[in-house]
Chain A
Amino acid sequence: MTNGNGNGNGGLRLRERMGEAGDKLRTSSLWESVFRPGSPFKGGYTDTPRNRSYVIMNNVLYHLHPVKVKRHGVRLSYTLCLGGLSFFLFILLTITGIFLMFYYTPTAIQAYPDAQALSTSVAFGSLVRNMHRWGAHLMVLTVFLHMSRVFYHGAYKPPREFNWIVGVVLLLLTLLLSFTGYLLPWDQLALWAVTVGTNMAGFVPVFGAQVKFALLGGAEVTANTLLRWYVLHVLFLPFIIVIFMAVHFWRVRKDGGISGPL
């Protein structure tokens, strides 16, 4: 291409050599063993009806989906993708949450300064913290809207009754995840919102005081509560919600895929 500068062949030769090395790598047994047929690293698929099936079947993530879906379910206006978006927001919150965990200490002394540092001195800290907070609000919203959508389509009707129950549990877990996260910045907003929210637990008949004590790790919100809710927020509740999500998705498939058409 650039023969004019007297040095033009160098680039070409380099490219050839790179090409050879690439060919050697792509035919090596390591490469062969790592990538499945149809992988983009093996030249991908040609577009045939069967290969469209293999795109789904040969990929561990896409395999959540069936190979084919009902035509009406593909229309965006049917589901508005709300369930999918809820799941996606969960993933987004997991990723941003892991980032935040690197900079956060769940102690009464360190929590607030850490939250402040995230907003001021950590690279991308402010953006990630904001994404985590707004994403959490959005997830509550999308889960709730997803439930409404399912109701209006009558998609909880047999054989999907149990999956509706799992869905309600998922809504509750989403709320709990969001609420436990609310306390973690350990500012006035967090402290008193949680105080108000957990005061209601005290009104549970008979066991009220005990429930509140177990929830807060004390008679009122303290440093114990912070640690307790941190563990709930980053470990326990995600663990539970992932199990329920797995059942939820699995049941969607087992109960015959998307509901409808109306």
Chain B
Amino acid sequence: MPEIPESLLRRSAEAKAKALGIPVEQVLAEMRGEVPPQEETASEETADGGRQTAAEPEQEQPADAEQVEPAAEVEQEEPAAEVEQVEPAAEVEQVEPAAEPEQEEPAAEVEQPEPVAEPEQAAPAAGGIQPAAGGDGSESSTPPPGGDGAGARDGGAGDEEPVPVAAAGAGRVAAAVATRPVAAPTGVPEGVRTQRLLTVVKAKAIQQVKTEPTDKVNTWPHLMIAEFASLLAMTGFVVVLSVILQAPLLEAANFNETPNPSKAPWYFLGLQELLSYFDPQVAGVLVPTFGLIGLMAIPYFDRNPSTKPSDRKFAILMFTFFLAGASTLTILGVLFRGQGFNFSYPWSDGIFFDDLKDWISFE
């Protein structure tokens, strides 16, 4: 037990004395362990372990005698509202009721009457406030944080993550509770944590409450499994494709021998196809440039806010037209252009596209 400065001790003793209406000196003596403690009066309890207003006036323990304080209590019952953490996407059901009412205390041992609601997660707010706790006058025998593992926060909870905590509906009150590891003094059962109400914060003051919850599911496992499955499927597809189809490798590059026809990669063959209809300035420069700029500008032209297909028939029509045109040109360029880039039928004249040559055969 660390030494408590005299001034602090005095302050808390005064506060307690005032609350209980007894002389300060008596309280001080109690706190120093010179006089047996008086019966605790401050702690109220409700039996159901549910909603319990954490009215906790200063409450003193003589050092070593008992370490028990009425549990502060986070409201559990309400449907959890959402605390905006990182993004606008607020989470429903993120916060499950964290109440672990540890009801049963061996009554003979100590007076530990209250159900201890145990907010598993110290709210970020609580974490911030914690250092100031000593200032409220009721601090007496709690060792410094991290003093001991007796009630140490369970590692599995990943304690430093700012988890959306606090379940409090609009206008309700979130109680910030600090959970401290407390060295269990004699008489307090192992593993019992004591809690103290640090502050009561109006919900609206610190939370942006999302009024319209959206229907969401956990990324793990619902999305991750679908992603993983499609990833595996794609890997399998690429491997199988690579085993059965050899990538083309023709003769070494020769500047003096132009193959007939010479074709660009397939994604440019639509443009090459256009070249046989239009001036190179148009097909090679204007169309791709305006195509790209036009694509980028779509969101700024299309100011129709609706995403319903029935509301945007024109947009869909235009884009489908663009897609159909691009794929028609590409297919023409890939399959229907032969010697001298003249029109030819793949089934009678053969395929003039090396990446595809081994895939399709009309023999």
Contact = CB atoms under 8 A, between A and B. Distances in A.
Interface in A187-226: 187-193, 195-197, 199-201, 203-205, 221
Interface in B88-123: 88-89, 91-94, 96
Contacts of B300: 161
A131 B239 contact: yes
Contact of A49 (B93, B251, B268, B285): B93
A81 B298 CA distance: 23
B252 A188 contact: yes
Contact of B259 (A168, A171, A192): A192
Nearest to A171: B295
B299 A53 contact: no
Nearest to B323: A148
Contacts of B275: 200
B161 interface: yes
Interface residues on B, range: 35 or more
Nearest to B294: A168
Contacts, number: 247
Contacts of A129: 247
A156 interface: yes
Interface stretch (A3-11, A23-31, A61-69, A229-237): A61-69
For chain A, the bracket of interface size reads: 35 or more
B250 A189 contact: yes
A148 B318 CA distance: 12
A69 B217 CA distance: 6
A38 B156 contact: yes
B241 A134 contact: yes
B239 A74 contact: no
A155 B234 CA distance: 24
Interface of A: 36-38, 45-46, 48-58, 62, 65-74, 76, 81, 84-85, 88-89, 92, 108, 112, 115-116, 119, 126-127, 129-135, 137-138, 140, 144, 147-148, 151-158, 160-161, 164-165, 168-169, 171-172, 175, 178-179, 182, 185-193, 195-197, 199-201, 203-205, 221, 253-254, 256-257, 259-260, 262
23 contacts: A50-B94, A52-B219, A58-B158, A68-B94, A68-B217, A71-B215, A81-B230, A134-B238, A137-B355, A147-B295, A151-B298, A154-B307, A156-B298, A168-B292, A172-B292, A179-B268, A187-B250, A188-B254, A199-B280, A200-B284, A201-B284, A221-B255, A260-B307
Q: 6 smallest A-B Cβ distances: which pairs?
A: A154-B307, A200-B284, A130-B242, A161-B299, A191-B253, A133-B247
